[in-house]
Amino acid sequence: MTIPKISVQNPVLSNLLMILIIVFGVFAWIKLPRDLAPEITIYSARIITFYPGASPEEVEKLITAPIERSIEGIDQIDLVISTSSEGRSEITVQFEDMSDREFDKRLQDLQTAVDRVQDLPEQLPDDPEVIEVEISSRIPLITVAIAGQTDESAMKKIAENLKDAILLIPDIADVRLVGVRDRQIWVEVDPDRLKAHNLPIDQIIVALRGRNLNLPAGTLEVGSSEFLVRTMGEFGNLNDIKDTIIKVKPAGTPLRISDVADVSHRYEKPLTLSNLKGFRSISLTPQKKSKGNTIKLVDQIRTLTEDFKKNLPSGVDIVLMNDYSVILRERIGILQNNAILGLILVVILLYVFMGL
């Protein structure tokens, strides 16, 4: 007995099967990921280790090199990039193209290899941390701009709070800040005062480096107890810098930084200037994970920002722009209209030619 004959003899069963197929189709449509362009994902991980007070050479020799030797035997590693700076080691491990399950396995192998390193300095405040990093060709979901009549430090604080709130949304991978400047300490040397004391500028640099130190000094055994010894000398405020002694003059009085230079807090020179409504602004660009639903995430960000606006100080506003979901909604709308039109044409053809 053929399928058409069974369908004709059992119209109720045929209709139920058709309804079931339609229901499954609607469910699949709802769950279907929506995006304009596919993402290219590069799986990588970072191994970060802090060693306060250690020089870049010490970090390279005592931390970075031993970890690199331990992980070099892991399969499917494509590239290893390491950076050893003062008090910090960062190793970026980039893997070959693989599935999510394989990447999870490689992360476990990486953690095991890092844990296997036994000759790291005992003075490390924490064990090396392995962090998963998903690098992909993401397009920002939407731009959230903050602008208003307030000082830059307050604006930065508002932007960071909003960033933390957006990152709590599931499937948000990252939020980038544009227009944020870090505060810096400027030591502006007066050439005339420098010349009056017959002082080369290199001596000021040496004095600052020699004073701003926080070094591990080994261990001290007292009876049955063992204590970690550390020299604490990092700058805590501007006065610490101003009072730094460069040298002692023949009369026995110290020559300090404040005698030849002005020390002040300033913001770094901006790489990008962002303005909105005539005021300096800070922009946030949320980016989703590869499996995130663009339309759903944009709706959640809009709801979040509306609630966040209620607690903003007077004169500060949030503006949403460059909504990537608008184009996506239009494309999906066209697809839906074409599907409905196709369904209508099928029904008409069945009615005309088959009398259904």
- The pLDDT tens digits of the residues spanning 294-350 come to 888 999 999 999 999 988 888 888 989 888 888 888 888 888 888 889 888 887 887
Whether the per-residue pLDDT at 211 is higher than 70: the answer is: yes
CA distances to 22, 32, 79, 91, 108 from 132, rounded to whole Å, are: 40, 27, 15, 12, 11
Mean pLDDT of all residues belonging to the chain: 81
Specify the pTM: 0.54
Residue 136 has a pLDDT of 55
Q: How confident is the model at residue 214 (pLDDT cuts 50, 70, 90)?
A: low
Which residues, other chains included, contact 25 with Cβ-Cβ below 8 Å and sequence gap of 6+? none
Residue 101 has a pLDDT of 85
Residue 303 has a pLDDT of 94
Residue 209 has a pLDDT of 79
DSSP 112-150: HHHHT---S-TT-SS--EEEEEEEE-PPPS-EEEEEESS
- φ/ψ of residue 220, rounded to 5: -130, 120
Residue 261 has a pLDDT of 86
Q: How confident is the model at residue 169 (pLDDT cuts 50, 70, 90)?
A: very high
Contact 52, 40 (CB under 8 A): no
Q: How far is Cα 172 from Cα 3, in angstroms, rounded to an integer?
A: 48
Residue 8 has a pLDDT of 65
Ranking 143-157, 162-176, 230-244, 285-299 by mean pLDDT, the lowest is: 230-244
Q: How far is Cα 264 from Cα 242, in angstroms, rounded to an integer?
A: 10
Q: How confident is the model at residue 96 (pLDDT cuts 50, 70, 90)?
A: confident
Average pLDDT over residues 115-135: 83
Residue 228 has a pLDDT of 61
CATH level 3 topology of 183-267:
3.30.2090
Question: How are beta strands 77-85 and 254-256 bridged, if at all?
Answer: unpaired
pLDDT tens-digit series, residues 263-282: 887 776 665 666 776 777 88
Residue 233 has a pLDDT of 61
pLDDT tens-digit series, residues 221-233: 666 666 665 555 6
Q: What would the CATH number be for the domain defined by 43-137?
A: 3.30.70.1430
Residue 195 has a pLDDT of 85
Residue 168 has a pLDDT of 92
Percent of the chain surpassing pLDDT 70 = 84
